[in-house]
Amino acid sequence: MDQRRLLLRAVKSFHTFAWFSIEACMAYVLYTGIRGRTDRKTGAAAVVVAGETLIFAANGFHCPLTAVAQDLGDGLGAGLSNGKGSVTDIYLPHWFARNLPGIHVPLILAAVLLHWRNWRNHAVRDSQRRLLLGR
């Protein structure tokens, strides 16, 4: 196996690992939002998701690793990258990889709404408690 193919496999493997890590953080943020918990672990997971989102947006809604894979000769990524932000240089089913941005954005919006609801409910309970205690 030549060096470029080996590097391409390494990039695709790293990209897949990074995706699973980011999605684990996304799942945790959604889970804690549904459970009504917002804590430091949730904040750390949210920072990971927000960082990934900012990098993706700053790169023209394309993952920078996709360009690296294409430079290494990933013809699949070049053929399927249709200018819509699809991520195809990853070890996932192609239909799923092509639609990752469309799947991820509603999840981010749901997480934001859930944690906003949690924050609002917490603020209301705190103000009611202060009112009752006279503080």
Instruction: Please indicate whether residue 4 or residue 16 has the higher confidence score (pLDDT).
Output: 16
The answer to whether the beta carbons of residues 94 and 74 sit under 8 Å apart is no
* Half-sphere exposure of residue 64: CA atoms within 13 angstroms, side-chain side: 9
pLDDT digits 0-9 by tens, 60-88 = 988 888 888 888 877 654 444 444 445 56
Beta-carbon contacts of 13 under 8 Å, excluding residues fewer than 6 positions away, are 91
pLDDT tens figures, 21-57: 999 999 999 999 999 998 899 999 999 999 999 999 9
Q: What is the pTM of this model?
A: 0.79
State yes or no: pLDDT of 10 exceeds 80: yes
What was the pLDDT predicted at 68?
87
Domain enclosing residue 51, as ranges: 3-133
Domain count, the chain: 1
Phi then psi for residue 87, to 5 deg, are -115, 110
